[in-house]
Amino acid sequence: MNHRLKAATRQAIAHIFARLDYPALGRIYCHDGGEAFWRAKRGPSQRWGIKLAGVLQRLLPRDGRSLYVGAGVAEIPMLTMETLELGREVAVFNLRAEEVRVLNQALQGLPFRFVNRDAGAAPGRVDHLWIVSVLNDPERFPNLSALSYGRALPLTFDPARFSVERRLVRHLVDRCLRKLTLPGLVTTSTEEVMWIAEWCHKRRIPYQVSKRDYPAAVVGDPICFLRLGDPRRNVGKSEGRTSTRPPRQE
């Protein structure tokens, strides 16, 4: 990843990370050991975020609009890059009110804010959807997450609750993707690609998944990009596979 952000953008990101209230974030992200968690994650979150923001910058047009679903600390470099370097508008949603408060305290002078609302209710259209480690969130979708990561136990797994969670995930995907203009870009984790692919298949929308994925510092799920609605355009530089076939059901 050799796409460098401007020095002013990197400096703005560093200032945000320096102003974050890590003890408060530790209590939000962890039941215990939160301060140790952020001592380990703070540096990688900033470094890998800056590198990923450089990759995303190459894929996005200027003056567009992005919808970020469930965004937090890890998304700060991308949000800063989009607004400061590309002049884009970002709609940033997070359901945890205390995290939104803590994050916004560190954004003095920046042209974006986190909003404590359901992203599915976001108004308007976007050309980029960011939905990373949301559809398999163990707090919001514990049964679906356990199955996705191979942690489900046959003796205790509840298929009825899983069915409810799967319906909720499909509904969230539909509400968010309906806001995406085509062609458009989706950033997600490799674990969540199947939900985007299923939505596209049902509507016969071609999509292309980047061959390369990128590390994520906080959650750990590799991140990839999908180009929806334009099979002629690559996701990256000669990267990607195009499909209109349904995702494989495991």
- 48-87: pLDDT as tens digits: 999 999 999 999 999 999 999 999 999 999 999 999 999 9
The residues spanned by each domain of the chain are: 7-243
Helix residue ranges per DSSP H, the chain: 7-19, 22-29, 34-59, 76-85, 97-105, 142-148, 159-177, 193-202
Give the pLDDT confidence of 164-174 residue by residue, as tens digits.
999 999 999 99
**In this predicted structure, what is the pLDDT of residue 149?**
86
CATH homologous superfamily of 7-243 equals Vaccinia Virus protein VP39 (3.40.50.150)
Give the three-state DSSP class for 219: coil
pLDDT-based confidence at residue 29 (cuts at 50, 70, 90): confident
Record the tokens describing residue 10, joined without a space.
Answer: 């990197």
Closest CA to 74 of 100, 41, 117: 41
